[in-house]
Amino acid sequence: MSKGKAFEYATAISFYNYINQHGGTAQIVNDINFQNVKNCFNILNNLEQDELLNVAMIGCIEVFNLEPTLQNMNDILTITIAPDFFGQTGDVRDVILIKS
């Protein structure tokens, strides 16, 4: 079990909720990578889950406020979780936000 992976889930969910609650449209790619981080999150107790969700939402709001591309609510935001092997090739992004 990895708290880092659980935090990836909390981050993805925070972006999803924030965008959808503020007039935009976000979707999550529900693939094996997302299921993996979701399972890590679900193993945690409720207090740990709440803490991760609170911290992730703070980060989400900060990124949203600093990134004009995210503020454009006309485009759909697709949220994906990078596969583990991305880190082996030097790509350190875990939660990927794609505007279309």
AA identity, residue 50: D
Instruction: Give me the helices (H) in 1-100, please.
Output: 3-21, 32-43, 46-66, 68-71, 85-88
Q: How far apart are CA 88 and CA 19, in angstroms?
A: 30
Cβ–Cβ < 8 Å for 60, 31:
no
Banded pLDDT at 89 (limits 50, 70, 90)? very low
Banded pLDDT at 91 (limits 50, 70, 90)? very low
pLDDT surpasses 80 at 85? no
Mean of the per-residue pLDDT values of the chain: 91
| 13-35 confidence digits (pLDDT tens) | 999 999 999 999 999 999 999 99
pTM over 0.85: yes
